[in-house]
Structure 1
Amino acid sequence: MGLTVQQLKAKTAEWLLLKVKYPLEYRLSRQRLPELSHQKKIILTLLPGHDNLGDHAIAYASYCFLKKHFPAYNIIEVDMKEIYRLARPLKRSRHPEDIVCMIGGGNMGDLYRYEEWTRQFIIKTFKSYPMIQLPATVHFTETKRGKREERRAIHTYSQHPRLLLMARDQTTYEWMKQHFPDQDVWKQPDMVLSLDESSKDETRKGVLLCLREDQEAYLTKEERQQLQQHIQETYDQVGLITTTIGKRVDRTTRLEELTSLWTELKQAQVVVTDRLHGMIFCAITHTPCVVLRSFDHKVMEGFEWVAHLPFMTLLKEPNEAAVKEAVHQLMKTSGQKGEEAG
C-alpha cells in the first residue's frame, strides 16, 4: 500500500532535502520569469489542454497537494503545449532549489504518443533538475511500435540522474522497478484521491451511467447499448454522463467543470462506470458505485485504493444480470431505495 498524505509529504521533502518556511503563490507569465529566478519554484507541468476531466482533476489535485504541503515554493503551472515555448525561459530563470513535477495519469505509453513524447522532452530538457513523475499508469502495447516506444522511454527515463517515479498501480510499479533498479520508485494512489468533495446535503435519486466509448473500453458498442437499455428498463430515473465533455478545458476553467460534474454525481443513488476517474470521483464524493473493468489493468488495480469503501463494488466480468444485482445491493446497503419500474 502507499503512504498516507502526511507520510508522502515527509518522505518527498526528505527525498528533495528541502524544508518549507513561508507561503508564496504566483501564476506563470512570460514577463515575470526573470523575477522568478530569485524565488524557488515547483514547475508543475504536463497539464492537459483537452476535454478529459479525469486528467484535469489530476492536475487540480496535484496543484492543491503541492500548494498545501510545500508552501515555501511558487507552484508554476505549465500546460503540455506551453512547455515547449517556455522551457528555455524557465531554465534561464532557474533558482538553485527549483523542482519539476509532471502530473500523473494514464498516458505513459504508446497509446497517447504526443503526451509520452512531451514527457520525454521534459525529462531531457530539465535533466539537471530534481524531477518527480507523480502517480502514473504505464501501458505499452505488444506491437512493433509499442516495443519501439517502450525502449525509447526506458532509455530517456534512465538518463535522468534525479528522477523520482511514482506508480499508481502494481503493474506499473513492477515495470518501473524492473527497468529502473537504480532510481527511486514509489507506489502511490492517483492524486485525485487526495481530495474530499463529499457532502451530506445532497438528495440522491436514480442511476447514472458513465461508460467509455474510446480505445480503452472493455465493453463493445453493442454491449454498452444493451446495458444502457437494461438499466433504463429497470429504473425510472437513469442519466448518462461522461468525463470527456466535448469542449476544451484549461487550468482557468477546470474547477468550474469539475465542480459541475461532482455535483451531478452527488445527486445520484448509484453510478455505473468503467472509467478510472468515474470510480475515483465517486470515491471522493461518497457516491455508491458499480465499477466495471477496462481493457487493461488500470481500473481493476486502481480499485485497490478504494476497495475499503463499503459503497464501491467491482465487477471483473460485467454482464447485465451482475450489474443489476450490484446496483440493487448498493442501494439496499446504503439504505437508499431505487425507483424501480413495475
Structure 2
Amino acid sequence: MKLKKEFHNKILRRIYYHTVIDKKILPKRYSKRRIYLFGVPEHLNYGDIAIFVSELKFLKENLPDFEVITIPERLVIQKIFEVKEIIDDDDIVALHGGENMGDVWPFPDMIRQDVIRAFGDKYRLISFPQSISYNNEFWVNETQQILKNCIDISIFARDKKSFKI
C-alpha cells in the first residue's frame, strides 16, 4: 500500500511540474534542440497520465539530444503564440497521444488541428498514438486539407482500424 501511495504522489508531482506551473517558455540559452509536446493532460485519469509518462520516456530514450518542453492542454492555444516566437527550424512539435483524432471528441481534435495549422507548413510534427475515427465527411475533408499543408508529419495509430484510415 505504501509503495502504491508513493507512486501516486510521484505521478502527482510530475504532473504538477510539467503542467500546472504556467511559465513563459523562454528562448534557448544554449544550442540544444527542443521538442514542444502540446496537449499533455492535467487531470487524474491514470491512462492519460501513463501515456504522458511513456511519451516523456520515449523522447528521452530516442531523442536524448532534445530538451522536452511540455504544454498542458488548457494552455495550447496561448502557448502556440509563444512557441512561434522562439522555435527553431530543427525543433520538433509533438502532439500528446491517447485521444481520438476525428469528430468523436471534437474539442481535442480542434486543438490538435490548431497546432498542426500553426506549425505543419514549416516544422517536423509527431502525433503520438491516436485512435482515429470520422463520422462527418466535412471533418474528414477539413483534416485532409490541414494535413496536405504539412511538410513532415508522423501520425501513430493505436489500433489496426486507425492505421488503415
The runs of at least 4 aligned residues of structure 1 exceeding 4 Å deviation read: none
Question: Which of structures 1 and 2 has the larger relative contact order (alpha carbons within 8 angstroms, sep 6+)?
Answer: 2
- Per the alignment, residue 105 of structure 2 pairs with 112
CA distance change for structure 1 residues 37 and 120 in 2, over 3 Å: closer, same or farther? Answer: farther
Residue 85 (structure 1) aligned with residue 78 (structure 2): yes
Residue 29 (structure 1) aligned with residue 29 (structure 2): no
Q: Pick from 125, 130, 136 the counterpart of residue 131 of structure 1.
A: 125
TM-score, length of structure 2 as denominator length: 0.78
Give the CA deviation at 1:36: 5.2
CA distance change for structure 1 residues 157 and 50 in 2, over 3 Å: closer, same or farther? Answer: farther
| More strand, by proportion | 2
CA deviation map 1:131-189 (0-9, x unaligned): 01112110123xxxx222222122212221211121121111111xxxxxxxxxxxxxx
Residue 153 (structure 1) aligned with residue 146 (structure 2): no
CA distance change for structure 1 residues 37 and 93 in 2, over 3 Å: closer, same or farther? Answer: farther
Give the CA deviation at 1:49: 3.0
Q: Pick from 149, 153, 164 the counterpart of residue 163 of structure 1.
A: 153
Counterpart contact for 1:38–1:95, Cα < 8 Å: no
Residue 75 (structure 1) aligned with residue 91 (structure 2): no
Q: Pick from 21, 42, 47 the counterpart of residue 49 of structure 1.
A: 42
- Per the alignment, residue 58 of structure 1 pairs with 51
> Residue 64 of structure 2 aligns to a residue in which SS?
coil
- Structure 2: unaligned runs, 5 residues or longer: 1-17
CA distance change for structure 1 residues 170 and 98 in 2, over 3 Å: closer, same or farther? Answer: same
TM-score, length of structure 1 as denominator length: 0.40
Please give the root-mean-square deviation of Cα atoms over the aligned residues, in Å: 2.1
Aligned counterparts, 1:278-297, within 5 A: none
| More helix, by proportion | 2
- Per the alignment, residue 101 of structure 1 pairs with 94
Q: Distance in 2 between matches of 1:47 and 1:130?
A: 19
**Is the radius of gyration larger for structure 1 or structure 2?**
1
Residue type matched to 1:72 in 2? Answer: D
> Residue 94 of structure 2 aligns to a residue in which SS?
strand
CA deviation map 1:102-135 (0-9, x unaligned): 1222321112111000000000011211001112
Structure 1 vs Structure 2: percent identity of aligned residues?
25
